[in-house]
Amino acid sequence: MSTEVRALLVSLEEELKRLNCWQSMPPSAEAMASTTPFCMDTMGFTQWLQWLFIPRVSAILDQGAALPKGANIKPYAEEALVVEKVEATQLLVLVERFDQLMN
């Protein structure tokens, strides 16, 4: 499964870049320290994917640990991407696949 998850992470990064949502400058340390789910109080969903989700899942895989169970990212992603005005059908497909793998 880790091979599939790594491939999904690469696909997520590629899709964020294709959508012009990949950023060169990280959010502030304060934004990154948010304890709100998805850091929704300090950053957009695509920022959260880039700066927290992708690195954290990569670190879990690098450590050989199990992915967390019970992910339900897609419902929030659908709402957040409307607010961010991102047309992200393929991004939602990738997020949904993560939900499936983490359940």
pLDDT tens for 71-90 read 889 999 998 888 878 788 99
DSSP-derived 3-state class of residue 2: helix
CA dihedral 37, 2, 70, 63 (to 10 degrees): -60
At 95 the pLDDT is 94
At 1 the pLDDT is 64
At 59 the pLDDT is 95
At 102 the pLDDT is 85
- Per the domain annotation, does 7 fall within a domain? yes
Q: Which residue numbers in the chain have pLDDT < 70?
A: 1
Residue matched to tokens 């969903």: 45
At 73 the pLDDT is 93
Do the Cβ atoms of 78 and 88 come closer than 8 Å?
Answer: no
- Per the domain annotation, does 34 fall within a domain? no
- Per the domain annotation, does 8 fall within a domain? yes
| Reported pTM | 0.91
- Per the domain annotation, does 95 fall within a domain? yes
- Per the domain annotation, does 33 fall within a domain? no
Angle at 60 between CA 40 and CA 7, to 5 degrees: 85
- Per the domain annotation, does 30 fall within a domain? no
DSSP-derived 3-state class of residue 30: helix
- Per the domain annotation, does 31 fall within a domain? no
The total number of structural domains that make up the chain: 1
At 55 the pLDDT is 96
- Domain range for 75 is 2-25+39-101
